Structure formats: structure tokens, C-alpha cells
Amino acid sequence: MPTPLSIDDFLQGSGPILDVRSPGEYAQGHIPGAVSFPLFTDSERAQVGTCYKQVGREAAVELGFDLAGPKCGEFVRLAKSLAPDRQLRVHCWRGGMRSGGIGWILELAGFTVQSLAGGYKSYRRWVRETLAIAKPIVVLGGMTGSGKTLILQELAALGESVLDLEALANHRGSSFGALLLPPQPSTEHYENLLAAQWAAFAHHRPIWLEAESRRVGTCRIPQELFEQMEAAPAVEVVRSLDERLDLLVDIYGAASPDSLVAATERIRKRLGGDRTQAAIQHIRSGNLRGACTIILDYYDRAYRHDLERHPKSIPQVDISGLSPVASACRLLEQVQLDQAPQLNTAAGTKPYSCSQSG
């Protein structure tokens, strides 16, 4: 039988991770990087579960063998393609029969197999515990179109720790945020993705992330992380309106008029009927800049209202006219001047200069 490992040993182990739960379970959420390797299809899993409840464990086990038996050769061939060195890690929901069954089959075929004690359920506990670990944070704020995502990307390129909440959610955080992006993960899987990155960040270096509400599209930021964001120091980037409009037109210019209109309709109540109709007319006539000018007025008012609800002072950094990399360097300089003692950036951090941006 597979050798059971604790969650930490399992995650640090070698070989592909095979998630032997059903495809539906995997789609809801899985260990990042794990391969879907289902013992049963969704309908087969339902059959076994119904049999267990109505008839009993022994009958369900027999049904499981009937369903999985013909697939054994396929399992072995697929495992060989995934792990030429024959080192594998497997898990199911609780670390029970499904992972044990697959592990037994693969061990008979010559694989070395390790399993996750407690299964995916124990991994989910690890996710919550990991996200609750306190680490230093810098929250990057700024009005819509300020280029915060581009700056975060440059900060990461400069070696800073960056948690891109929007990139992991496949959403830019507004009514228009899903346009031109892949489907969003479930909130459960979003938490998994966040925890995987959070665990990798050092404790002594500040972690940069963008100011967000509790939701990024349909994904909800875990309470453990959101509480840390609320208490963290923040810095706000400021850019001219023309530059912000340029950036928004560049981002959303490839979106279809129908999708832009639908996104505008979703904020009709907040934007107001007349402004909504004016923005839609601009979109239909191909004047996206005109539409963005109207819509930005709403988002700017919402941003200022949110700032007024938080009494803490937030320093501003004017990045008008600067490239994303120059903006990142200026932010690093400002944060080191204003917040270094609070963030403990002196440990392992070298002073930055915008001259480094090239």
C-alpha cells in the first residue's frame, strides 16, 4: 500500500501529484499542479455512494471493483506517461479507499507511491492555516486605470514578493473585469492558489498586493488574508486622467461592443440611466474613450468614498508620465523612506533607485 505522508512532506515530495477524485471534485478545487487522475467518473462515484447508503459498505466496495477493474491497464499506461521515473504521489478526499486502490494498482505495476494522510480534506485545513500566518504586507491603491497590475508585475521582476489577487482570480475587479480573460476559478480553488503562493513568501520581506474589496469577481478573498490587508500599510499611486484613459482603452479595446455594453448595464443603477445610455452610445459608435470617461467618473467617486470610510492616512506617489518599471522603482524608494521601520524592509532588502529601471 502507498506510504502515507503528512501534508508538509507530501507537498515537498517528488513525482507528480495524482488527484484520484472525480472530475467534478477536481474542478471545484484541487492542489495547484495536481493532475486529474479519476478512479471513477462523476456518475460512477454517485453510483458507489448510493450503493453505500442503500446497501452497505461491502456491496459498494464490490461495485467499485466492477467499475474500476477494466480501467487498470489504462491507469498504468497513463501513470507511465506522467512519471517515467515511477515516483508518484496520490490523494483522494479523505486519504482512504480511492487513493489506496489506485496506489495498490500502481505499486503492483512497479511504481513507488506515496499518499496524503487525510487526503484533500487535510490539504484544505492546511490552506486555512497557511493563509492565517501573519506576514508583512504593502497594499497598493490607486484609481481605476492607474496601471497597478503592470506595476505589480514590474515589482515581481525586480525581485519583490507579489501576490496578484486579480491574476489568480482571472478578473480585474470591476464590472468589466472578466472581459478578455479565462473563466474564474471557484472560490475554493482561488484559496488554494493563494495559499500556495503565501506559503512560499519569506516572513521578513514585504508582500505587495493590490487593494481589493472582499470579492474579485465571483472569487472571495479569504477572511484570514483580508483581515491582514485591512490592517496593513498602504500606498496610493496617482496618474493623470489622460494616461488612465489611454490604459483602459488599450486594455478593453479588443473587447466586443456587446460585452462592453453588458458590463455597462450591470452598473446602470449606480451610474445612472442618462450616463449609462450616453456611455452605451459611445461604445456603439466606436468611441471607447468617451465611454470610459463617463464610467471612470462613477469608479472615481466610489474609490474616494471607500477612502473616506478608512481613517488611516495613505501616502500618495505621483507616477504620471512614468513607465511601469520606473513607477515600481519610485514606489520602492517611497516605501523605504516612509514605511521601512514598520515593514522591516531593512532585513535582506537593498535600497532601490529609479535609475535601476534602465
Torsion over CA: 251, 257, 263, 269 (sign): positive
Domain span holding position 194 = 133-357
Distant-in-sequence, close-in-space partners of 168: CB < 8 Å, separation ≥ 6? 185, 190, 193, 194, 197, 219
Is residue 116 located within the same domain as residue 171? no
Q: Which of 103, 128, 153 is the last residue of a domain?
A: 128
Note if the pTM is more than 0.85. yes
Q: Which residues are catalytic?
A: 92
Q: What is the largest CA-CA distance in the chain?
A: 73
pLDDT of residue 338: 62
Q: What is the pLDDT of residues 133-148, one digit of tens each?
A: 999 999 999 999 999 9
Domains identified in the chain, total number: 2
Q: What is the mean pLDDT of residues 180-198?
A: 98
Distant-in-sequence, close-in-space partners of 62: CB < 8 Å, separation ≥ 6? none
Q: Where are the beta strands (DSSP E) in the chain?
A: 3-5, 17-19, 35-36, 87-91, 112-116, 137-142, 161-162, 207-210, 215-216, 219-220, 234-238, 316-318
Is residue 81 located within the same domain as residue 141? no
Average pLDDT over all residues of the chain: 91
Ranges 59-63, 77-81, 97-101, most confident: 77-81
Q: Which of 128, 148, 171 is the last residue of a domain?
A: 128
Instruction: Check which CATH number belongs to the domain holding 123 and give it.
Output: 3.40.250.10
pLDDT of residue 313: 81
Q: What is the mean pLDDT of residues 315-322?
A: 94
The burial class, CB within 10 Å (0-12 / 13-18 / 19+), for 85 is exposed
Contact status, residue 117 vs residue 1, Cβ threshold 8 Å: no
Is residue 138 located within the same domain as residue 234? yes
Distant-in-sequence, close-in-space partners of 189: CB < 8 Å, separation ≥ 6? 28, 29, 30
Q: What is the mean pLDDT of residues 176-192?
A: 97
Is residue 152 located within the same domain as residue 47? no
Q: What is the pLDDT of residues 89-111, one digit of tens each?
A: 999 999 788 999 999 999 999 99
Q: Comparing 237-241, 309-313, 351-355, which segment has the lowest mean pLDDT?
A: 351-355
